[in-house]
Every structure is written in structure tokens, then in C-alpha cells.
């Protein structure tokens, strides 16, 4: 008898990384799964459901203007738990599955435990070893790990982290990161070969795609107070690299959006300040970048596929594999470090280089284990 699988998704990165698992379930004709969208990133996710041709079975509304983390967490737990009670006669899950380290993931893990339902954690074992960096993600994933029955670790490094926490070895499965599966899907579908952007600002200002692009992203809570360091660094770099186009899709968080949009950056001809990019636009930019400046976890994993180095706007990273290989570098939110590293960091990627975060077969492995 097939197990009932319940996916709980809250944010864009979660959908991007759960997508290949849903694809694999569709491919093998597996019928018994449902998807809950918690609404943690509702506005950012709207177009992504269409891009990935996925429709959530249930939608929650856990976001309210002005709420703090405590309120968000409690609302997520109650909303998920209430929904489980409401649908138990039509769909009683055997395994609850969540990806990553957001509030949605921690809430899903706690609800699974309280209801004595098995919990599967995709991207398990990532650790920065600092509860405040990233905040609150390091805390979220550690809490989730305590109650996880299936730890789908992306790399041997993450497996070692789990072993160091006395996790039962038989519960750990090194499968690679599913984001690489998603990348392979779009690369092989030839969708990246279509050069036109859907983003209006890129369509208008980026006539030719070449390798003189720099992508900037910054959204982490712990980086908000140092945002001026990054803004000043980008301003100086753009003035000294007039033949390079700097693209900054600004996160909608008011703490970030207002400060970037009211800075001098929008006055500079070779800087494009725009809204968050749709996934295909992001990948088209990424594959033509000479370097990325970002605090994003997903971009740290995606960039190596395109042999693009990353300056990580963090003091620590839970994805140390690329740093160890010398293809990414921690620079923090320090203007001088960002500028110096931009000018000097130029790693060489060998012809046979393989992305350390996966081979594109993670979803197949995960589905096989879940079917068990």
C-alpha cells in the first residue's frame, strides 16, 4: 500500500527544491501526495507555481503585516495543525516532508512530532555553528533535526554534522541537493537558450547578454543593519567597472527595499535595480555572470553549475564545500573586503569540474527511500 506523503512549502527556495521530487512522483505515477502552501512567501511564490506547473492542494495565510517571529511561528504551527485535523478523514499523511530551514519547516517538524507522524527533512545537516548566523535559520534546522525520521543530507559534510549530533546513522541518507536536479531540468529543457527576459527592467536595459554581468542579492535579517556597506561597495565598483552591468533584484522586505531604492545606485547607468527575478530570468543572468555577490544559500549551490564564483555576504556558511574548493569566498558585509575580493578573487574552474552539491539525481533517490 502506498504511503501518503504531505509536502509543506512556504517559500520560493522550498518550491524550487521540492519541484524535482514532485516531478519524479508524477513520472512514476505515484498518486498519494498532497501539498500545503503556508503562504510564508505568498506574493513571491505566485508566478513560481505556474513556472513549475504545480498547484497546492491547500493554502494557508500565516503572514500578517507587522508580526514578529514568535507570532509567525505560533501562527504557522496552529494553522498546519488545524488543517491536519480538518483533512484527516480525506488524507491522513504517513510522512510529512519539508525542505530547508525556514519557520515553515520548523513548524512542520513540530506539528509532525506532536501528531506522531514521521518527518522527512530535505537538505538536512547544514550547520553554520552559530545560532545567530543565519538567524533564525540555524535554530530552525536544528530543531527540525531533533524529530526527523528521514534526514536527506546533500553532502558528506552535512552527514558528518548530523553524526556529530548523535543522529541515528540509518536515518541519514546522502542524496545531493535537489536544486541541482532543478537546474538540470531547465538546462536540458532548452528554456535557458531563450534569451529574452520576462523582467521588464532586464528586457529594457540588457540588450546583449554576455559574461560582464554581476548579480547581487541580499535578504538575510542579520545583514539589514550593515546594508550601507554593501550599497557603498557596489557604488564604488560600478564607477570603476563601467563596462560591467550590476544587476540587483531587491528583496521586498521594507528594510532592504527602501534603503536600496533611495540610494545613489539607481542613478548609475550600469546598475539595474529591479524586483525579484522569476527563476528562469535568474538562471539566465547567473549563467552569464562573471561573479555573484550574495548572501543566498541557493545561489551558493547553483552558481558552481555555471562555473561562476560567489562572494558570500556572510561571516559563516553552512555550505562550506565551495569555499573549501576555493570557488566561493566569505566576505561578510564589509565594504573594503567586498571591493578587494571583487578585484582579486578569480578562481579557475577545470574543464571536468563537477558541482560539489549534487549530480542531479537527488529526487530519484529521495522518492525511492520514501516509498521504502
Q: Which of 251, 278, 302, 318 is catalytic?
A: 251
Q: Which of 14, 127, 137, 318 is catalytic?
A: 137
Nearest to 18 by CA among 34, 2, 1: 34
SS3 readout for the chain: CCCCEEEEECCHHHHHHHHHHHHHHHHCCCCCEEEEECCCCHHHHHHHHHHCCCCCCEECCCCCCCCCHHHHHHHHHHHHHHHHHHHCCCCCCCEEEEECCCHHHHHHHHHHHHCCCEEEEECCCCCCCCCCCCCCHHHHHHHHHHCCCEEEECCHHHHHHHHHCCCCHHHEEECCCHHHHHHHHHHHCCHHHCCCCCCHHHHHHCCCCCCCEEEEECCCHHHHHHHHHHHHHHHHHHHHCCCCEEEEECCCCHHHHHHHHCCHHHHCCCEEEECCCCHHHHHHHHCCEEEEEECCHHHHHHHHHHCCCEEECCCCCCCCHHHHHCCEEECCCCHHHHHHHHHHCCCCCCCCCCCCCCCCCHHHHHHHHHHC
Q: Which of 81, 173, 184, 221 is catalytic?
A: 221
Q: Which of 127, 219, 220, 314 is catalytic?
A: 219
* Whole-angstrom distance, CA of residue 111 vs CA of residue 61: 17
User: Using only C-alpha atoms, what is the Rg of the chain?
Assistant: 20
Q: Among this protein's residues, is 251 annotated catalytic?
A: yes
Q: Among this protein's residues, is 219 annotated catalytic?
A: yes
* Whole-angstrom distance, CA of residue 301 vs CA of residue 116: 33
Q: Which of 14, 101, 281, 318 is catalytic?
A: 101
Q: Among this protein's residues, is 101 annotated catalytic?
A: yes
Dihedrals φ, ψ of 89, to 5°? -80, -30
Q: Which of 12, 121, 123, 235 is catalytic?
A: 123
* Whole-angstrom distance, CA of residue 191 vs CA of residue 280: 8
Nearest to 103 by CA among 39, 44, 165: 39
- Which residues participate in catalysis according to the annotation? 101, 123, 137, 219, 221, 251
Amino acid at each position: 500500500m502506498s504511503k501518503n506523503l504531505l509536502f509543506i512549502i512556504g517559500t520560493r527556495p522550498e518550491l524550487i527544491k521540492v519541484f524535482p521530487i514532485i516531478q519524479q512522483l508524477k513520472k512514476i505515477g505515484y498518486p498519494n501526495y498532497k501539498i500545503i502552501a503556508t503562504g510564508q512567501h505568498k506574493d513571491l511564490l505566485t508566478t513560481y507555481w505556474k513556472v513549475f506547473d504545480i498547484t497546492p492542494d491547500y493554502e494557508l495565510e500565516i503572514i500578517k503585516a507587522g508580526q514578529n517571529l514568535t507570532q509567525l511561528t505560533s501562527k504557522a504551527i496552529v494553522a498546519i495543525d488545524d488543517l491536519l485535523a480538518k483533512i484527516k478523514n480525506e488524507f491522513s499523511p504517513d510522512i510529512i516532508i519539508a525542505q530547508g530551514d525556514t519557520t515553515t519547516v520548523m513548524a512542520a517538524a513540530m506539528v509532525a512530532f506532536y501528531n506522531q507522524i514521521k518527518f522527512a527533512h530535505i537538505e538536512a545537516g547544514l550547520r553554520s555553528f552559530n545560532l545567530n548566523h543565519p538567524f533564525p535559520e540555524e535554530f530552525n534546522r536544528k530543531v527540525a533535526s531533533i524529530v526527523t525520521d528521514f534526514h536527506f543530507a546533500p553532502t558528506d559534510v552535512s552527514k558528518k554534522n548530523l553524526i556529530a549530533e548523535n543522529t541515528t546513522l540509518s536515518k541519514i541518507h546522502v542524496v545531493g541537493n535537489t536544486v541541482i536536479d532543478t537546474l538540470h531540468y531547465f538546462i536540458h529543457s532548452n528554456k535557458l537558450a531563450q534569451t529574452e527576459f520576462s523582467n521588464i527592467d532586464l528586457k529594457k536595459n540588457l540588450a546583449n547578454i554576455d559574461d560582464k554581468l554581476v548579480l547581487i542579492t541580499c535578504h538575510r535579517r542579520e545583514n539589514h543593519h550593515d546594508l550601507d556597506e554593501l550599497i557603498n561597495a557596489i557604488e564604488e565598483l560600478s564607477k570603476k567597472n563601467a563596462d560591467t552591468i550590476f544587476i540587483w533584484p531587491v528583496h521586498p522586505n521594507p528594510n532592504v527595499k527602501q534603503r536600496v531604492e533611495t540610494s545613489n545606485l539607481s542613478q548609475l547607468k550600469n546598475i539595474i535595480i529591479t524586483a525579484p527575478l522569476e527563476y528562469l530570468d535568474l538562471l539566465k543572468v547567473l549563467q552569464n555572470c562573471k561573479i555573484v555577490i550574495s548572501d543566498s544559500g541557493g545561489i551558493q549551490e547553483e552558481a558552481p553549475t555555471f562555473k561562476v564564483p560567489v562572494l558570500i555576504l556572510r561571516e559563516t556558511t553552512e555550505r562550506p564545500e565551495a569555499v573549501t574548493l576555493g570557488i566561493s569566498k566569505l566576505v561578510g558585509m564589509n565594504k573594503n573586503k567586498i571591493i578587494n575580493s571583487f578585484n582579486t578573487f578569480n578562481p579557475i574552474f577545470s574543464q571536468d569540474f563537477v558541482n560539489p552539491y549534487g549530480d542531479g539525481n537527488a529526487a530519484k533517490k529521495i522518492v525511492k527511500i520514501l516509498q521504502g
